[in-house]
Amino acid sequence: MYESIEDLPYVCRINLPEAALRVYREAFNRAWQHAAETKTRFRTAQTQAWSEVRSLFERDRETGRWMQRTMELKPRVQTDAPRQRSAQ
């Protein structure tokens, strides 16, 4: 687990903006705790952390810098099927 963003791998610290570093650290630590006692714990946590970073940030094609994604609202898909109510 990483206590602070300064503890993150060098490749992360030199490439990602601070907000993305915080996302990476939180996602890694969450996955690390969840994958306790597995042989692939580190790899699983690392993969999950990068996945979360990529979902919120993207690399600028011209500069190569990571930037926060613009959140676009996707249109809802309408179906003819009735919605099921959840049990309460």
Architecture of domain 5-68: Orthogonal Bundle (1.10)
**Which tokens hold the place of 88?**
């309460």
**Whole-number percent of the chain with pLDDT over 70:** 80
Confidence at residue 37, expressed as pLDDT on a 0 to 100 scale: 85
Confidence at residue 6, expressed as pLDDT on a 0 to 100 scale: 96
The residues pairing with 66 across neighbouring beta strands, listed in sequence order, are: 59
Burial of 45 (0-12, 13-18, 19+ CB in 10 A): buried
Distance CA 40, CA 24 (A): 18
Res 74 pLDDT > 90: no
Domain ranges for the chain? 5-68
Res 73 pLDDT > 70: no
**pLDDT band at 70, cuts 50/70/90?**
confident
How do residues 19-61 score in pLDDT, each as one tens digit?
Answer: 999 999 999 999 999 998 889 999 999 999 999 999 999 999 9
What's at 69, amino acid-wise?
A: R
Helices 41-56 and 18-34 cross at an angle (nearest 10°) of 140
